[in-house]
Amino acid sequence: MKGNIDMTTGKEYVASVFEKVKAQNSHEAEFLQAVEEVFNSLVPVFDKYPKYIEENLLERLVEPERIVSFRVPWVDDKGQVQVNRGFRVQFSSAIGPYKGGLRFHPSVNQSIIKFLGFEQIFKNSLTGQPIGGGKGGSNFDPKGKSDNEIMRFCQSFMTELSKHIGADTDVPAGDIGVGGREIGYLYGQYKRIRNEYTGVLTGKGLNWGGSLARTEATGYGAVYFAEQMLNARGENFNGKTAVVSGAGNVAIYAIEKLQSLGAKAVTCSDSSGFVYDPDGIDVDLLKEIKEVKRERIVKYAEARPNATFTPAGGEKTVWSIKADLAFPCATQNELDETDAETLVANGVLAVSEGANMPSTLGAIDVFLKAGVSFGPAKAANAGGVAVSALEMAQNSGRTSWTFDEVDAKLYDIMKGIYENAAAAAKEFGQEGNLVVGANIAGFLKVADAMSAQGIV
């Protein structure tokens, strides 16, 4: 097969596909950012495997297999009719059914969902589990909504989504704004419409098909990944200080695992600001405030003697606090070049990304140039979706594993991801660069499957 591709070098090929992607998606800044990061890593792969150029693999991969965009009408508690926009991007089914979370947040648009879906392809491949890449969500803002409003919204969202998903087709889960409560409402509506009890969603409750350790998995996984990076430097968690952003599922369980392994996590944040607790974050209190009462983070500072609250929007962020380790666990582009310079000046050793694409391209450059161990999101936060795949396996086998069994598998998966990424970086001449390593290792498995399956 030669097609109409005349490019001879990987560099020319990657550059020409990126120009096309830019021209066709010029208004999708986050999607282009995610694509650029991956493309920059893949040049040596195309030099080594020119058949992927002949098969125009990159241009096919960067075009989602399918995007569904739909109206989500619902009635609020005042009886007013509200309308939101829903999305599901089914990006790649090369190595398994589409798999990835749903995000409910006012910032959600097609660019955000496409960047998340694109990242998910490589992340899911890295887990070693048979899952393709997808993502979805809505610009619905759950903040301040009653349980009944959340339920009505979820039911309307699923009424359309149910036409496009299935246990062997596409298996959504949670992301920002979608936790156990939302998965429950979504699952109830799916079951009611389709009349089938299948593993069509992950992150389910423990009594109705969920997996133990799924709630903890993303945060724990980011810490297990950091442990591998520290071990490679001859270091461990003992006595280390960590700054963590976010106060959702990922941040809470990263903090919990850090404390249990001997580190002290001293910060957390939400959109209203951040908390600095020099005594170490009290995880039970944080859980009570964020998971049970669903309150703002300032309540944490009010309840702890030495903790301070700094409102968002000022100069200071969690990244201004001196620490050995950093775990960005809030959202995309929350850590820029200046923040990275501050962390480096303060002696940070390792950064493990719990959120999706939290560091800008400029920030990543600063970390890599300074010799900081940097665990990119698609590797470091893959623990969540990895345990989702284990939930799917338990559902298919109509069985359930103990917490320790799942946690042990999660640990092995994170260790495996680190080792694969480190080996790929070395093989392609960029030893220690886990960004390049993760992109290449994630890509190769998908590319091989696409190549075997013909031009589809």
Residue at token pair 């702890």? 304
* Strand segments (E) across 208-256: 241-244
> Of the two residues 173 and 326, which places its CB atom closer to ligand GLU in the complex?
173
Q: Which of these, 345, 247, 355, lies nearest to 301 by C-alpha position? A: 247
The distance of closest approach from Cβ of residue 4 to ligand GLU in the complex, given in angstroms and rounded to an integer, is: 36
How crowded is residue 296: how many other Cβ atoms within 10 Å of its Cβ? Answer: 16
**Among the residue ranges 65-73, 96-104, 138-146, 338-346, the one whose residues contact ligand GLU (CB under 6 A):** 96-104
How many chain residues touch ligand GLU (CB under 6 A)?
11
Of 329-368, which residues contact ligand GLU (CB under 6 A)? Answer: 356
DSSP string for 381-419: TTHHHHHHHHHHHHHHTT----HHHHHHHHHHHHHHHHH
Q: Does residue number 45 form part of the binding site for ligand GLU (CB under 6 A)?
A: no
- Identify whether 135 is a catalytic site residue: yes
The distance of closest approach from Cβ of residue 298 to ligand GLU in the complex, given in angstroms and rounded to an integer, is: 27
* Alpha helix segments (H runs only) across 331-380: 337-345, 361-369, 377-380
Of 105-164, which residues contact ligand GLU (CB under 6 A)? Answer: 123
> Of the two residues 202 and 331, which places its CB atom closer to ligand GLU in the complex?
202
Q: Which 8-state DSSP code applies to residue 291? A: I
Q: One of 135, 257, 264, 445 is an active-site residue; which one?
A: 135
Among 41, 215, 342, 388, contact with ligand GLU (rule: CB under 6 A): 388
Taking only Cα atoms into account, the Rg of the chain, rounded to an integer number of angstroms, comes to 21
Among 37, 175, 216, 334, contact with ligand GLU (rule: CB under 6 A): 175
d(CA 266, CA 274): 11
> Of the two residues 248 and 273, which places its CB atom closer to ligand GLU in the complex?
248
Among 93, 110, 127, 202, contact with ligand GLU (rule: CB under 6 A): 202
> Of the two residues 275 and 379, which places its CB atom closer to ligand GLU in the complex?
379
Among 14, 31, 99, 443, contact with ligand GLU (rule: CB under 6 A): 99
The distance of closest approach from Cβ of residue 123 to ligand GLU in the complex, given in angstroms and rounded to an integer, is: 6
Among 101, 132, 219, 221, contact with ligand GLU (rule: CB under 6 A): 101
Q: Which of these, 74, 69, 66, 215, lies nearest to 140 by C-alpha position? A: 74
Contact 327, 245 (CB under 8 A): yes
DSSP string for 344-355: HHTT--EEE--S
Contact 388, 202 (CB under 8 A): yes
d(CA 400, CA 453): 33
Give the type of residue at 192. R
How far CA 364 is from CA of 69, 260, 343, 361, in Å, comes to: 32, 28, 12, 5
How crowded is residue 97: how many other Cβ atoms within 10 Å of its Cβ? Answer: 18
How crowded is residue 53: how many other Cβ atoms within 10 Å of its Cβ? Answer: 23
Q: Does residue number 95 form part of the binding site for ligand GLU (CB under 6 A)?
A: no
The distance of closest approach from Cβ of residue 96 to ligand GLU in the complex, given in angstroms and rounded to an integer, is: 12
> Of the two residues 103 and 152, which places its CB atom closer to ligand GLU in the complex?
103
Q: Does residue number 100 form part of the binding site for ligand GLU (CB under 6 A)?
A: yes
Binding residues for substrate: 99, 120, 123, 174, 388
Site map for ligand GLU, 366-385, x if CB under 6 A? Answer: ------------------xx
> Of the two residues 13 and 122, which places its CB atom closer to ligand GLU in the complex?
122
Torsions phi, psi for 309 (to 5 deg): -115, 130
Binding residues for NAD(+): 218, 249
**Among the residue ranges 93-101, 137-145, 398-406, 410-418, the one whose residues contact ligand GLU (CB under 6 A):** 93-101
| Footprint on this chain of ligand GLU (rule: CB under 6 A) | 99-101, 123, 173, 175, 202, 356, 384-385, 388
Q: So which residues are the catalytic ones? A: 135
